[in-house]
Amino acid sequence: MLTLMPSRAPLCLTAMPLCSVSSIAVPVIDVDIIATEQRNDNWIAPLIGLLSYSSATPTTSALRRQAHHFAIRDGLLHRRNYNADGRQWLLVIPRSLRSEICESFHSDPQCAHSGVSKTYHRIRQRYFWRGMYRYVQRFVRSCLDCQRRKSSTHLSPAGLQPLPCPDHPFGRVAIDLYGPLPLTSAGNRWAIVAVDHLTRYAETAALPAATARDVASFLLRRFILRHGPPQELLSDRGRVFLSEAVEAILTECHSVHRKTTAYHPQTNGLTERFNRTLGDMLSMYVTADHTNWDAILPFVTYAYNTAPQSTTGFSPFFLLYGRHPSHTIDTILPYSPDPSESAPISDTARLAEECRELAKTFTTQEQERQKSIRDGSATSEPTFLPGALVWLSVPTSVPGLCSKLLPKYEGPYRVIERTSAVNYLIEPVEQSSDMRRRGRDIVNVERLKAYYDPLIVTSS
């Protein structure tokens, strides 16, 4: 019988550390602004005039051919959605408001500076404009916070032996600790994460210490009593994961405990990758002293769970629950319900199961692709031409702060020349004290990544 019982009084919600309301940036856009800007847009205004049967509006054959895809709903131009997911009618966003929409679905804590595909997917489910993917791609790539703080990965030649993808949610769950992090006002220093191998759904929690009891409490209260026991639990060989408290829970639940080989955490690569993503997300919103990370943790976990994964093609939230979540901005702008919200329960369950099968297929294919590349000792080092702007990876350490939450790159630098197959001579563009002290330098390509100027996006 499970005997790990609560040892404290129930928590009071008002006593819990929360992000300030100002940390959720709601764009200053309303229906009136949308309507005005649509009618001022050179491409949208003629469509509105044509659909409104305004004889004064000049039309072309190309415009008339497009018109049947659009409709005026509640005084605003919408386009029919021909994709399988998202709303039935997509609000058409004028050129003048696209950057604000992208900002809302990229920089807000609920989205946590997601990458191109995740940001695009969130926007595509709700809105439409021509050339959306390219615009979102340029917007996200040029985000200075992302460029400065997000990790860059290079393929290694080491061979892979991927674990087979489970057949159902929580067939295999990977667990890991992230930290130590700066001590928060709530007394937390560690984050614990658990990620499902099929859906990629993650559960996280802030812990005061990385003790066996804290880990066992998380496993029982935050995971098993919420999702049921996993068929397999994958962890490294840390003492807290091999403790009697954890083993007792797994034995009682008849869960198999799989451990990574010593000094080879790549076996638990899913949590390793999630931890890197978690660090990138947290670094966007922590205060200067890094002591509010535990208040941000639930927000960025939600952002991760509700964004589609590049491997599966679906968000973990959708694969687990069979529906898409709402976003804060949905309460402001016109809302067309997701078809899955009104579908019969049997249809929703069947759709979710079919999507999980697809996710498993895509995961297996991606594992095979990566194995083929890694086993072939392939590399994907970038090539930079003279004059190109780049970021330089610089190890950073500040007393009292967590290195994992500090910016990972410095720049921009300008490439002077390629001195060898893997080395470049670079010089700083701006004259900050650190960059000026570094001056011209020859660096390995593994420390470089491309710099994207945000002015290119805002001026287009």
Each residue of 311-364: pLDDT tens digit?
788 889 988 888 888 887 877 777 666 655 555 555 666 777 777 777 777 777
Strand 172-178's sheet: what is its strand order?
202-207, 190-196, 172-178, 232-235, 256-259
Confidence of residue 207 (pLDDT cuts 50, 70, 90): very high
CA dist 183 and 125 (Å) reads 39
Report how far apart, in Å, the C-alpha atoms of 108 and of each of 24, 282, 283, 324 are. Answer: 6, 12, 13, 18
Mean local confidence (pLDDT), 203-209: 96
Q: How confident is the model at residue 383 (pLDDT cuts 50, 70, 90)?
A: confident
Separation between Cα atoms, residue 252 and residue 245, nearest integer Å: 11
Q: Which helix (H) or strand (E) holds 193?
A: strand 190-196
| pLDDT for residue 28 | 61
**Of residues 176, 160, 385, the one with CA closest to residue 270:** 176
Q: Determine the pLDDT at residue 155.
A: 45
Q: For 357-379, what is each residue's pLDDT tens digit? A: 777 777 777 767 766 655 555 45
Least confidently predicted of 116-120, 169-173, 241-245, 312-316: 312-316
Contact by Cβ (8 Å): 216, 249: yes
Element (H, E) at 77: strand 76-80
pLDDT of res. 457:
57
Say if CB 410 and CB 435 are below 8 A apart: yes
The larger pLDDT score, comparing residue 121 to residue 422, is at 121
Instruction: State the pTM of this model.
Output: 0.68
pLDDT at 259 over 90: no
Mean pLDDT, the chain, integer:
82
Burial grade of 13 (CB within 10 A; 0-12, 13-18, 19 or more): exposed
Q: Is the dihedral of CA 329, 45, 142, 458 positive or negative?
A: negative
CA distance 223 to 227: 6
pLDDT band at 89 (very low <50, low <70, confident <90, very high): very high
Say yes or no to pLDDT of 9 above 50.
Answer: no
Question: What structural domains and CATH numbers belong to the chain?
Answer: 21-149 (1.10.340.70), 172-373 (3.30.420.10), 389-458 (2.30.30)
Rounded Cα distance between 356 and 353, Å, is: 5
% of the chain beyond a pLDDT of 70? 79
- Give ∠ CA 198-203-209 in degrees, rounded to 5: 135
- Confidence grade of residue 98 (pLDDT, cut at 50, 70, 90): very high
**Sequence-ordered list of residues with C-beta below 8 angstroms from that of 449, at least 6 positions apart, any chain:** 147, 152, 382, 390, 391, 393, 409
- The pLDDT of residue 325 is 85
pLDDT single digits (tens) 121-153: 999 999 999 999 999 999 999 999 999 888 775
Res 159: pLDDT: 45
